[in-house]
Each structure stands twice: as structure tokens, then as C-alpha cells.
Chains A and B, each alone.
Chain A
Amino acid sequence: MNVAKLLKFSRCSPLHFSPSYSHSSFRLQHATGTSSNPQEADKFQEDEFRVFVIPGKNSVTEKRQERRKLKFKAQPPRYLKMPVDQDWTSVWPGPRTFHPAVVPLPLRQGYDKKRVAQGKFGNAELMKVPNFLHLTPPAIKKHCDAIRKFCTPWPQGLETEMQMEKHFPITVITSDYCHSSPTIRDIKARIVTIKLKLSTLELDDHARDKFLRLVGDRYNPKTDVLTIVTDRCPMKKQNYDYCMYVLTALFHESWTFEEWEKEKSTLDMEYYEWKDHPSYQTYLKLKAYPSQDTSNIEQEIGQDPLTQKYSKAVTDLFNQGEDVYTLARYKEATLELLLGQKTS
């Protein structure tokens, strides 16, 4: 029947000769159910149709080489065999890069727009970040138990932070380093840092000002903490001694008053003091007007609330810097002073 037609049709397909082809052709014949004549089938076998070969397009090799199979079978990851009540501190005793087969946690790390985040196997992101798997609470507890025999009881009377600060105002910070390398020395171990609160030192206004100018940015005004770091000597002990020397020298130097310190002008002042500045003189003149003599006024205005208010406004303007609030207070004070208007 129209088998030839069908075959003609199948000739158009990109398939070239292959065992599967003959098979499919047979099935086609069978499906049509028209002819079961073996002669005819043989005729088809003989009469193979030609293959149209496009040079370069059709691959010569018939089959892809199969992948080499692994010679041995990989073991399943270790975490699958771990008992639930195992001692984790002996599984992960020290700091180590993340290992997916050892950590029995279903971790994921990373971001994928379409899929769920990548699992822990072959995940470089998990290996990059430092982990604290060796610092679990039982590990720390074990560690503490081990070194407990070297500790002495906590001294009495140092229970609170206040008491500690009172009896030990200076904090000394040093570091020791332990490596598995040919040398046990580490150059960073020489650095000594001391910290103390400036309020624990006895300083008057002048001494404090001088002290702060000497230490510069080593003082933090927000926390009132002075930090001195020494690293110029090769040994820790030497650096510690030098630290103590610097602190002592700073303290005594700030208490001495040199001759040249008298030359400090209003511009060198660390804060704005109203009475040292021209603003005060103008204020006196304004108050004394129309007379030119300001000596009497000076005593009069001492306790005057308006003067207090105005002085505070100007001082704040300079010391706190100008913003909406300081300007508003200044305006309030000047309105009362110049026009006698009370706004509040």
C-alpha cells in the first residue's frame, strides 16, 4: 500500500542508517498491517536507501566513548554514620576549615534566583568563612575544667565592676601567640596597651588641659578613656616599663607650669569663655549706654537673669556649634535684650 509513501516520508527525516532505523521501519510495516510478505521485506532490506553525506556535518565516529568508570566505590559521607550522642569535641577538636562530610548539619549557603540555595557539598562559600565549630559550649567547658587546677580563687572585694575600677584603675592588655612553627617567638607579643579612665587621675583645670593637649587623640572624650600603646622596645617587659614611664611623665609634666604658657591667648582656648571675648565688652557697653563708663555695670549684671541667659546662649553657640536650637535660644535672649520682648 502506501508503505513506500511512508518510507519516502521517513527518508526526509534526519536519521541516517542505523539499526534502529530498520527496526522502526519494521514497526511501521507492522502497524499498517497490510503486508506480511517476507519477499517484500527482503526487497526492502536489499534496497537500502542511500545516505546523503554532508562533508563536515556528519560525524564519522559512530559512538561517543563511554566515561571511564571509577575503579572503587566512594564511601558515603561520614556524618551519616555518626551516632547522635557522640562527643563532638573529639570529632572537631581544633580550628579547621569547614568540611561537608564531617559536619552533620543540613547547611546551605549562597543565593540562587531560581533554585534553592546551594547545599554544603562542594560549597566554597562555606569554606571561606571562619567557623567556630571547635568553640562549642561543651568544648569551652572542657577547656575550663582542664585549666581550673591552675587558677586561684577570685579575690574578695572585687566582685563588681566599680570595685575593680577603683582598686585597679589601669588595664594592661598583652597578647601571647602559640604556633606550630620552628620558632616559638612572635613579634606581636611585645606590644603592650594600657587603658585607664582620666577621671582616676588627680588633675586641675590647667593640668587636665595640658594633659589632653599632650596625649592628643589617645584620649576618647566620649568614654573618658586614655589608651597608650607601646611597641618600640623588643621585649614585652621593656614596653610595659616604658608605658608606665610615659604615664608618669605625662602626669607630672601636666602639673608643671612653664613660663611660656602665659602666652596662651583666647584663640588657643579649648572652649569659649564669654568674659574673655569682645562680646562681653560690647554687652557691657550696650548695658551702660548712654554713659561710656562700664565699671559700675559690671557689678550690677552679675546676678541678672537676662545676662545669664544671654551669656549661656552665646557660649552655647560657640561651644556646641550653631544649629536650629542654639540659634533659637540666641534669638530668644537677644530679643529680650534688645527689644524687651519675652517670647516664652
Chain B
Amino acid sequence: MKLLYTVYYKLQSRCEIALRTKHSKQDLYKFYTLPDEVRSAIFELGGITRVFNEQTQIFNESSILIRNCMLELVGYLKSMTNFDRPSPRFVLYGEHGVGKSMALVYALQYAHENNYLLVHIPWVLRWFAYPKEVSHSLTKEGMVDLNIDAAMWLRHFQKQNTKWLEDPRLTTSQEYVWSPREKSEANIPLAALIEHGITRVKYASDVVDVLFTEIKKLSTEGVCRTFVCVDGYNSFFAEKTNCKPEDKSKVLPSRVTLTRSVINLVQSDWNNGAIVLALSPRANLPDRRESHLPLYMLKKAGFESIDPFVPIHVPELNDEEFHNLLNLYESKKWLQTSEGREEIAFLTKRVPQKMYEFCSFK
């Protein structure tokens, strides 16, 4: 066994290729470094998990393990040739902590390199579990707005697509009336629309809705190529939220305007784009986390909202990945010894998040 470890220990586990587009099967199970400029460009306002953030601070390096599911997903994205067909949907599923969000990080980076317009919702449950401000919608009867959350998301979108928003071709197609005194003219740049949403928080949810409609139109016309990415999509079909409007009425996710906008965005009525969704048992209520399979997590309604989709399973680490990760921990002096690996594998089921927590005595 010891011999086996040393074999793994000697493996070249670093990948020097910077571009995600050029990664191939030979780079599998190696670590690549997420450059700081990319990190600040895409993930400054969310998208990177707590565990990975901690690790980055501790190791002073953001290394990401290249895994099969990442290459599979990016492979599908690369193989898309016919952009006249409706945007395909890919669904990542797997147990809690296996690295679904890291796969999304990888895909987002790929999309960023290939000049996609990014529509990225980092963690849907944050809207429903910790809503900042809940108010009744002015435009849609019986619906509820999450004003500050919507505005914060607009800021995230603005940050991620700084380059695209300077493009003069991205304009609104029609006039939008927010209130008797406020309206947006047709043919104003999207950047102005977003700015309106951020400054007039009251209308942020409506702006998000309008923005999605416009993005769908622009993509279909071929102005931009859009990459939609939602982490924790199954939260939209949970039985409960923590949103409490003034009248203390019960709010299901379906009553929130953002839910309707996002579900509308992931329909197959637009082309020239790709949709990647991640499902997580953590995004469900605690009584519904027995299985990590898509139909169980989404239930029938959720499944039908995105059917047909390509399910991509994110498994636990395999032998090589497992030893590579522990090798990294050892080289960073995070793990003192190379013994006891079988025990770690047994106790953590090779789930990377659990491994990290186990090795840090949490």
C-alpha cells in the first residue's frame, strides 16, 4: 500500500495550461490555478463556495482539481455547433460537497474565456432563506418582490459582464413603464436599465424580469451568446421560504417574482446560448434530502420546467483524485503524514468537502 502512495505522490499533479478551452483528457486529475484577475472579474460577488474560499486563504493559492464531469460539461459546450436550435440544458447533480459548484466555476470560466454573456445566479437558496426585504409586487398581482436581493444580483450581473455592457448593440427593444412618472424608453442600453434597477431598488425585480426577456431576444437575434448558470435550482420548488411580507402571508417560491423570471429564462424558447443548472440536496428543505437524483430533488413540477435536459452526475473522488488532493494537502503542510489515507477515505466517503473538514479537525 505504501508503494502505491508513493506512486501517487510522484504524479505530476499540476496543470500549467491557462485556458479552459485547451484542457484535454491528459490534464485530468491535475490542479490548475484560478487566476486572481478571473476571480475578481467573475466571482467577486459570489459563486465560490465557503470551503474553497477558506482553502484559498489558507494555501494562498486557488487550485482547482480538473475532474471528469467538468471536462464532460465543457466538452458538450464545445461540441455545440448548431446555435439555431433552442439552448440545451445541462443539469449537474450529486451529493452535498462533491464539487458541483466547482464544476460550475470551471464552466463559467470557460464561458468567460469564450466571450459568453454570463447570467449567473450563485446560490438560489440565499434569496429564500435570508431575504433582505420583502414587499408586494406593484406590477404582478399577488406576487412578492425581493428588492434588495434583486438589486444585489443586478450588481453581480453588472460586475460579471462589464465588457459586454459597454457594447452598443445591447439595447432594449421596447418601452417599459415602471410607474406613471417613471419609464424607460426603447433602445436604451442594457447598462442603463441595470443602473435603473440598482438605483431604484423598488423596481429591481421588474428590471430583472425585463432584463431576462431582453437577453433572450438579443441572444436569439445573434447579438450575444448567453451562458445561463444557476446553482441550487431545486430551491425554486421547495415547500417553504423565509420571506415574510407585511401581511405575514405564507410565501412559496412560486409566489416570488424572481422565481418566475428565472424559470422563464431557462425555457427552450430562445437559442444561441447554453443553460447549466446545478441541483443540490442542501437547497431542499431538511426533510427532503434522502436522494440526490434529479427527479427526487426537483419533483414533478420542477422536472417538467426543465425537461428535456442532459443530466451530468458529479461523483465522489476516484483513487487518483483522492490521492492528488491529499498530496496537495501534504505539500501545503495541511496534512502532517501520508499515512491513514484509507481511514480518511472510509470516514469521508471521498467527498472533498468532508475531506477538507476532516483534515482540518472540524
Question: Which residues from chain A contact B79 at a C-beta distance below 8 Å?
Answer: 339, 341
- Asked if A6 is an interface residue, CB under 8 A from chain B, the answer is no
Evaluate contact between A331 and B85: CB separation under 8 angstroms.
no
- Shortest beta-carbon distance from A39 to chain B in Å: 89
Interface size of A in residues (CB-CB distance below 8 Å):
26
- What is the interface residue range for chain B against chain A? 20 to 34
Question: Which residues from chain A contact B311 at a C-beta distance below 8 Å?
Answer: 327, 330-331, 334
A339-B80 in contact given A278-B304, A283-B308, A327-B293 (Cβ < 8 Å): yes
- Asked if B89 is an interface residue, CB under 8 A from chain A, the answer is yes
In whole angstroms, how far apart are the Cα atoms of A338 and B308 in the complex? 8
Evaluate contact between A290 and B268: CB separation under 8 angstroms.
no
User: For window 181-233 of chain A, which residues contact chain B by CB distance below 8 Å?
Assistant: none
- Asked if A237 is an interface residue, CB under 8 A from chain B, the answer is no
- Shortest beta-carbon distance from A343 to chain B in Å: 11
- Asked if A170 is an interface residue, CB under 8 A from chain B, the answer is no
- Shortest beta-carbon distance from A110 to chain B in Å: 40
- Asked if B58 is an interface residue, CB under 8 A from chain A, the answer is no
A282-B304 in contact given A331-B311, A334-B309, A334-B310 (Cβ < 8 Å): yes
Evaluate contact between A339 and B76: CB separation under 8 angstroms.
yes
- Asked if A289 is an interface residue, CB under 8 A from chain B, the answer is yes
- Asked if B232 is an interface residue, CB under 8 A from chain A, the answer is no
Q: What does DSSP make chain A's interface, helix, strand, loop or mixed?
A: helix
Q: Which of B84, B86, B308 has the most CB of A within 10 A?
A: B308
Evaluate contact between B269 and A285: CB separation under 8 angstroms.
yes
Residue of B nearest to A313 (CB): B308
Question: Which residues from chain A contact B76 at a C-beta distance below 8 Å?
Answer: 335, 339, 341
A286-B308 in contact given A327-B294, A338-B88, A338-B89 (Cβ < 8 Å): yes
**Residue interface bits B84-111, CB-to-A below 8 A is 1, else 0:** 1110110000000000000000000000
A289-B271 in contact given A338-B308, A340-B82 (Cβ < 8 Å): yes
Evaluate contact between B271 and A290: CB separation under 8 angstroms.
yes
Question: Which residues from chain A contact B294 at a C-beta distance below 8 Å?
Answer: 322, 327
In whole angstroms, how far apart are the Cα atoms of A341 and B82 in the complex? 12
Evaluate contact between A339 and B310: CB separation under 8 angstroms.
yes
Question: Which chain A residues have a beta carbon within 8 Å of chain B's beta carbons?
Answer: 277-279, 282-283, 285-286, 289-290, 310, 314, 317-318, 322-323, 327, 330-331, 333-335, 337-341
Question: Which chain B residues have a beta carbon within 8 Å of chain A's beta carbons?
Answer: 76, 79-80, 82, 84-86, 88-89, 220, 268-269, 271, 293-296, 300, 304, 307-313
Question: 13 extra interchain contacts, Cβ-Cβ under 8 A, other than A283-B308, A341-B79?
Answer: A278-B304, A282-B268, A285-B268, A286-B86, A289-B271, A317-B295, A318-B300, A327-B311, A327-B313, A331-B310, A337-B308, A338-B85, A339-B310
The 9 closest A-B pairs by CB, nearest first: A338-B88, A322-B295, A334-B308, A278-B304, A322-B293, A279-B307, A289-B86, A334-B310, A286-B268
